[in-house]
Amino acid sequence: MPVIRASFRLAVLLLPAGLANSTPLPTAAVQTHAESRPGGLILQAGEGERRVRRPREGGAPGLTTPFRLLVDRRNGGSPDLVMGYEEIAPGDAIQPHHHLLADEIIIVHSGGGRVFLGDRVADVGTGGTIYIPRNTRIAVRNTGSAPLAIFFIFSKPGFEEMMRDNSVLEGETPTPISAAERARIEARNRWHTIHDAH
Q: State the CATH number of the domain containing residue 92.
A: 2.60.120.10
Residue type, 29: A
Note every long-range contact of 13-18, with CB atoms under 8 Å and residues 24 or more positions apart, other chains counting: 15/151, 16/107, 16/109, 18/43, 18/44, 18/45
Q: 53 — phi, psi (to 5°)?
A: -65, 145
Residue ranges of the chain with per-residue pLDDT less than 50: 1-37
What pLDDT digit, counting tens, does each position of 14-23 carry?
344 334 343 3
Tally the domains of the chain: 1
Q: Which of 97, 72, 79 is nearest to 161 (CA)?
A: 72
pLDDT, residue 65, reads 75
Domain range for 176: 2-195
pLDDT, residue 50, reads 96
Rounded Cα gap, residues 162 and 83, in angstroms: 14
Rounded Cα gap, residues 21 and 43, in angstroms: 12
